[in-house]
């Protein structure tokens, strides 16, 4: 039985960076095998992880229009392309959803994608899916109830409002999220009073805060994968404490 940890949050909160920290944590705690799934159309999880990607599933889906070889069914083609799109690293695998390049209906392609992603997911103990703000990707692409939904926000009132909307959306979509948590990223000092009060009144559980870290900014500025930050990074240390509380107790069996 595998588990899905889904990441969410509005743009600019650093959720993809936190997703990279989470994958690193899982590796360090030997919670493997891991499939990292980049389901954000603005795909950059591979950059956080320091991985090159040659084929996205959006590109493979485009190939259903004209590129299916003679003698191969669409189902066979999509299965082959999904296997081709998996980037195999030493400690984890990565697959990038991407997006279709042209207009038109992709209902059949999405159906095939869902089918074979489900088969692929069965090869892993844990999936980490990085999403855009909406949660439709989870219901459309991986037929699996998320064990954990991690919503990442910045330390602003609008940020936590957006986080609560994402939580409500996950409930409206009946995704069957078992545990949902809020992580506040890039915190300087303590949380603003308005943010703290909003969280206390909301139905979202605060898992912890990750402080502003100059090392993260330095790595980003140089195009270096934040996945490789040193252990004395304040952000890494804080994220590790958070994951100890909400992940390791559930999955380190």
pLDDT above 80: residue 30: yes
Read off the tokens for 192: 């603003």
Residue 221 has pLDDT above 80, yes or no: yes
Indicate if the pLDDT at residue 86 is higher than 90.
yes
Grade residue 103 by pLDDT with cuts at 50, 70 and 90: low
Q: Looking at residue 220, what is its pLDDT? A: 93
* Dihedral-angle region of residue 189 (phi above 0 means left; psi in -120 to 50 means alpha; beta otherwise): left
pLDDT level of residue 184 (50, 70, 90 thresholds):
very high
Q: pTM (2 decimals)?
A: 0.90
pLDDT at 194 over 50: yes
Query: In this predicted model, what pLDDT tens digit does every residue of 136-174 receive, in sequence order?
Result: 666 654 446 789 999 999 999 999 999 999 999 888 888
Q: For residue 16, what pLDDT is reported?
A: 95
- Give residue limits of the domains in the chain: 3-251
In whole angstroms, what is the distance from residue 123 CA to residue 13 CA?
A: 31
User: What percentage of the chain has pLDDT greater than the value 70?
Assistant: 86
DSSP bridge partners of 11: none
Q: What is the mean pLDDT of residues 101-114?
A: 56
Q: Encoding tokens for residue 215?
A: 């090392």
Contact 94, 87 (CB under 8 A): yes
Alpha helices, H only, the chain: 15-28, 45-49, 57-66, 74-85, 107-121, 136-141, 157-172, 193-201, 214-222, 234-243, 249-251
CB neighbour burial string for 144-157, b if at least 16 within 10 angstroms, e if fewer: bebbbbbbbbbbbe
Is 107's pLDDT higher than 70? no
Q: What mean pLDDT comes out for the span 87-110?
A: 74
pLDDT at residue number 252? 46
CA distance 21 to 170: 23
The confidence band for 211, taking pLDDT boundaries of 50, 70 and 90, is very high
Residues 141, 142, 146, 148, Cα dihedral to 10°: -70
CATH superfamily, domain 3-251, is P-loop containing nucleotide triphosphate hydrolases (3.40.50.300)
Span 20-32, average pLDDT = 96
At residue 140, the pLDDT reads 59
């Amino acid at each position: 039985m595998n588990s899905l940890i889904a990441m969410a949050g509005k743009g600019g909160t650093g959720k993809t960076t936190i997703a990279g920290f989470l994958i690193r944590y899982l590796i360090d705690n030997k919670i493997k095998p891991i499939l990292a799934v980049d389901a954000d159309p603005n795909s950059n999880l591979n950059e956080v992880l320091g991985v090159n990607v040659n084929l996205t599933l959006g590109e493979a889906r485009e190939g259903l229009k004209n590129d299916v070889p003679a003698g191969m069914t669409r189902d066979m083609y999509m299965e082959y392309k999904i296997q081709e799109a998996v980037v195999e690293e030493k400690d984890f695998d990565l697959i990038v959803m991407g997006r279709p390049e042209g207009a038109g209906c992709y209902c059949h392609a999405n159906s095939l994608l869902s089918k074979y992603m489900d088969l692929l997911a069965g090869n892993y103990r844990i999936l980490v899916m990085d999403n855009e703000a909406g949660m439709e990707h989870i219901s459309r692409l991986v037929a699996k109830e998320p064990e954990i939904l991690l919503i990442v926000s910045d330390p602003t009132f609008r940020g936590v409002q957006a986080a609560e909307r994402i939580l409500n959306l996950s409930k409206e979509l009946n995704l069957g999220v078992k545990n949902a948590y809020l992580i506040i990223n890039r915190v300087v000092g303590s949380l603003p009073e308005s943010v703290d009060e909003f969280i206390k009144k909301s139905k979202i559980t605060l898992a912890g805060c990750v402080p502003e870290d100059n090392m993260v900014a330095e790595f980003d500025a140089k195009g270096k994968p934040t996945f490789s930050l040193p252990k004395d990074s304040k952000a890494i240390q804080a994220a590790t404490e958070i994951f100890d509380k909400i992940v390791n107790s559930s999955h380190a069996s």
